[in-house]
Amino acid sequence: MPEQFELFHATASSLDTPPPNRHLVLHGRIVSYTLRRDRRRLTLHIDERGLRVGAPRVFPLADIEAFIRIHADWVVRKLDEFSKRTAPRHLALHDGAELPVLGDAVRVCVTAGGNRGYWKEGELWLAARPAADLAALARRALQRRALEVFQPRTAAAAAQLGVAEPPLALSSARTRWGSCSTHSGIRLNWRLIHLPLPLVDYVIAHEVAHLVEMNHSPRFWAQVARLCPDWRSAREQLKRQGAALPLI
- pTM score of the predicted model: 0.68
| Architecture of the 135-242 domain | 2-Layer Sandwich (3.30)
pLDDT digits (tens, 9 = 90+) for 82-105: 777 655 567 888 899 999 999 999
- Convert 48-63 into a string of H (helix), E (strand) and C (coil): CCEEEEECCCCCCHHH
Query: What does the alpha-carbon distance between residue 41 and residue 10 come to, in Å, rounded to a whole number?
Result: 12
Query: What does the alpha-carbon distance between residue 3 and residue 210 come to, in Å, rounded to a whole number?
Result: 10
Q: What is the pLDDT of residue 20?
A: 54
Return the domain boundaries, the chain. 21-83, 135-242
Ramachandran bin of 121, using left for φ above 0, alpha for ψ from -120 to 50, beta for the remaining angles: left
Helical axes 134-161 vs 197-209, angle rounded to 10°: 60
pLDDT digits (tens, 9 = 90+) for 169-217: 999 876 689 999 988 999 999 999 999 999 999 999 999 999 999 999 9
pLDDT classification of 8: cutoffs 50, 70, 90: very low
Q: What is the pLDDT of residue 2?
A: 46
Answer yes or no: is pLDDT of 154 > 60: yes
Q: What is the mean pLDDT of residues 58-65?
A: 92
Helical axes 231-242 vs 197-209, angle rounded to 10°: 120
